[in-house]
Amino acid sequence: MRCEIVAVGTELLLGQIVDTNSAWLGERLALAGIDRTHGQTVGDNLDRIVGALELALSRSDAVIVCGGLGPTQDDITRDAIAAVMGVPLEPDDDVADRILERFAARGRRMPANNMRQALVPRGATAVADPQPGTAPGLICPVGDKVVYAVPGVPYELREIVHGAVLPDLARRAGTVAVIRSRTLRTWGDSESGLAERLADHMTELDAAGPRAPTLAFLASGIEGLKVRITVKADDEATAARLIDAEDEIVRGLIGDIVFGVDDETMEHAVAKLLDARGLTLAVAESLTGGLVASRLVDVPGAGTWFRGGVVSYDPEVKYSVLDVPEGPVVSARTAAAMATGVRRLLGADVGLGVTGVAGPDSLEGEPPGTVFLSAVVGDAEPVTTRVLLPGDRQRVRQFACISLLDMLRRILAAPSGETPAGWPLA
């Protein structure tokens, strides 16, 4: 089964927006075990959309065309599909009713153009619109092949693809297998280091045949590396069992650097640990300038455990507000004093401190990328480490931020009294 994606919109050709839909769809197709060999982009031009659909149908079994379903004269995807099918467009009464209802509910006059969204090529089916009264998706049979039309608005596209397109594709592909995946998110090792630790196990999986789980590495920039586990099975229950078993094996090999699953971020991982232990947190930041605090408040419910922070960018603020002893600010002593100082000032259980050199220039004889991280839990001694981080000013700051959060995660996850494994980082 092969499926091609055609993105429609002059604004894509002009570079006014980046086509994120094709990448998202490509990933969904790959996860569903459906091949994709080509992608096309065309503007809002009838002949060219028709040409792109005909080319796609000549080499693929299915085509997903995104965009051009809106109410304006530029939105001509449905006209192009009707031309390819050799049929007229006809109004769909259900869709028309929903459009009228939407305008009536808002007490607004409906521009006549909006009724264009109720037109459907004869023989095609309109599939539920995620926002009632806007453009529905279309399933359009062409011989024994099919064209799916979906809106270009990412939220609407995703709803329709999950709700109607992928199930229809799976039915046509006659796939009996259920394909499921889980992503383990890691931080603290390089891609080659990770590959080395998993190499023997991956060789075993390769040898175990086509029904064995597969592993893939995905880089996600400063957020670390992801290891995606994918399994095929005859039913959901077996898929879930297989994925859990593989998850356990992978964590046996790299569990120390796994911080989360799927969409879980580092700050979510920290939040869960603080919540579980009933601890509150305060943060003192120098080079990161508020980045650590702003990531922490992104977690819903942060108010229960996050007290706040001090951005002590100027050295005098460190001395006067946080009671840091005067002296070199790019030092372990300053990082530790910031952590204990902010913990005391804000009345928190846990204090974090981060100071260093973002660059481009050296500071106090230390090169750009030199960063000191410190964490103090209760009245214990602060844990402090020095790391050398790569990249420009902005990357150093972002790496410092996630390094600090990962340090706290390891401390909170370690059995009480034990030094967390894997520190210092560098």
Element (H, E) at 55: helix 46-59
404 binds its own copies (CB under 8 A): no
Choice from 1, 32, 33, 43 touching its own copies (CB under 8 A): 43
List binders of its own copies among 192-231 (CB under 8 A). 218
Site string for its own copies, 327-366 (x = CB under 8 A): ------------------xxx------------x------
Asked if residue 234 lies in contact with residue 176, where contact means CB atoms within 8 angstroms, the answer is: yes
Residue from 1, 2, 30, 201 in contact with its own copies (CB under 8 A): 30
- E strand residue ranges, 118-199: 119-121, 125-127, 137-142, 145-150, 178-186
Query: Helical H runs in 60-92?
Result: 77-85
* 245 binds its own copies, rule: CB under 8 A: no
Q: How many CB atoms lie within 10 A of CB 101?
A: 12
Alpha-carbon distance 399 to 210, whole Å?
39
188 binds its own copies (CB under 8 A): no
Nearer to its own copies, 82 or 283 (CB): 283
Q: Which of 307, 343, 409, 410 binds its own copies (CB under 8 A)?
A: 307
Question: Counting contacts by CB under 8 A, is residue 46 touching its own copies?
Answer: no
Q: Which of 1, 2, 32, 45 binds its own copies (CB under 8 A)?
A: 45
Whose CA is closest to 340, among 325, 330, 353, 327?
A: 353
**Of 45 and 125, which has the nearer Cβ to its own copies?**
45
Peptide bond into 360 cis (omega under 30): yes
Q: Which of 203, 362, 394, 419 binds its own copies (CB under 8 A)?
A: 394
CB neighbours of 277 closer than 8 A, spacing ≥ 6?
412
CA angle 361, 364, 368 (to 5 degrees): 35
CB of 196 to its own copies, least distance (A): 18
Q: Report CA torsion sign: 95, 98, 104, 109.
A: negative
Q: How far is the CB of 359 from its own copies (least distance, A)?
A: 10
The answer to whether residue 292 forms part of the interface with its own copies (CB under 8 A) is: yes
Smallest distance from its own copies to CB 358, Å: 8
> What are the DSSP E strand ranges found in 288-413?
306-311, 350-356, 370-377, 383-388
Strand ranges (DSSP E) for 248-326?
Answer: 258-261, 281-285, 306-311
Distance CA 223, CA 217 (A): 13
Single out the segment in contact with its own copies by CB under 8 A; choices: 122-130, 178-186, 251-259, 389-397: 389-397
Q: How far is the CB of 12 from its own copies (least distance, A)?
A: 7
Measured CA to CA, the distance from residue 225 to residue 258 in angstroms comes to 9
Comparing CB distances to its own copies, the nearer of 24 and 423 is 24
When asked if residue 316 is in the footprint of its own copies (CB under 8 A), the reply is yes
Residues near its own copies (CB under 8 A) are: 7, 12-20, 22-30, 36-43, 45, 48, 52, 55, 218, 283, 285, 287-294, 296-298, 300, 302-303, 306-314, 316-317, 320-321, 345-347, 360, 393-394, 397
